Amino acid sequence: MPLAVELEGVSFGYRPGQRVLEDVRLRLGEGEFVAVAGPNGGGKTTLVRVVLGLERPTEGKAFLFGEAAHRFSRRRVLGYLAQRSQLAGDAPATVREVVSAGRLAAGGLLGPLRRRDRELVSEAVQRVGLHDVADVPLRTLSGGMQQRAFIAKALAGEPSLLVLDEPTTGVDAESQESLAALLDRLHSELGVTILYVSHEFGAVERFVQRLVLVRRTIVFDGPPGRLPGVWHDPSHAHARQ
C-alpha cells in the first residue's frame, strides 16, 4: 500500500553525543491505525516531531507521503493533537469556535468562514458527539470532551494523517475507552491514517492494527496479540494475561 510515513535508519539527538532516537525504521501505510507506546523519556514525542517534519534527523531519512518530511509541502493534510492541548488561560471560546480554528488553519483563511467551511466544522463537531454542546465554552467541559473538541478541530482540516500525542493525559479511564472507540469509528468512516502515541496503550489495544514500542529504537512492531507476555515501563508494568 502507499506509505503515509517512512523512517529509514533515523537517529536524532538534541545535543551532540546524546541520541534520543537510534536507527529507527518505520513504515506506516495509508489508512492504518497504529499505536506507538513506550516509557516516558523513551523518544515517543521526538519520534512524532521527526515524523511531522518538525525535527530533521541527525542521521537517516524521514518521508511524509513520499516527500522529505522537513520539506513537506502539503501541511494542511496533517492533523496534529499535541500533548495536553488546551486553551490559554480562561479564554471563553466555544467548542464551535475552537473547531473553526482548525478550518482556518487548513485553508489559510482570513475573515468569516465560507459556507463549505461552516459545513465541515459542523460535521466535525457532529462526528465527535459534541453537537449538543457546540456553543458551550470549552473550558466548562470535562477533559474527555475537551479532547474530543480538539480532535474535531483536526478533523475540520480534512487530514489524511491524524497524529495524537498522549491524548488521554489527565482523562479518566471511562473517557479513555470512549475516546479509543471514537477513533476506531473515525478510522472506519473516514479512512484517515491514525498515529496514536502514548505511554499507555490499553484503551486502543483492541482497535489498532499494529503496536510499535519505542525505547530509543523500535523494540517491537506487530499486532498487539503478539506482544511478549510483559512489557515493562519504569513507571508502569503492563502485564498481559
Q: What's the pLDDT score for residue 105?
A: 64
Last residue of a domain, one of 124, 159, 194: 159
DSSP code of residue 71: G
Q: What is the pTM of this model?
A: 0.86
Residue 173 or 184, more confident: 184
Residues 170 and 236 occupy one common structural domain? yes
Cell numbers 495536553 label which residue? 84
In this model, does residue 233 exceed pLDDT 60? Answer: no
Kindly state whether residues 186 and 120 are assigned to the same domain: no
Strands (E), the chain: 3-12, 21-29, 33-37, 59-64, 67-68, 78-81, 161-165, 193-198, 210-215, 217-222, 230-233, 236-239
Domain termination residue (choose one: 140, 159, 178): 159
Q: Is residue 78 part of a domain?
A: no
Which domain does 214 fall in, by range? 1-73+166-241
The string of pLDDT tens digits covering residues 175-219 is: 889 989 999 999 999 999 999 998 877 788 889 999 999 999 999
213/191 Cα distance (integer angstroms): 24
pLDDT band at 234 (very low <50, low <70, confident <90, very high): very low
Domain closes at, from 128, 159, 190: 159
**Amino acid (one-letter) located at 69:** A
Query: Are 151 and 170 contained in the same domain?
Result: no
List all residues 6 or more positions away from 52 whose beta carbon is below 8 Å from its beta carbon: 64, 69, 78, 80, 163
For the stretch 99-133, pLDDT in tens is 998 887 655 555 577 888 889 999 999 999 999 99
Percent over 70 (pLDDT), the chain: 88
CATH number for 194? 3.40.50.300
Distance CA(14)–CA(21), nearest Å, equals 10
Whether pLDDT at 241 is above 50: no
- The total domain count for the chain is 2
Residue 230 has pLDDT above 90, yes or no: no
Judge whether 127 lies within some domain.
yes
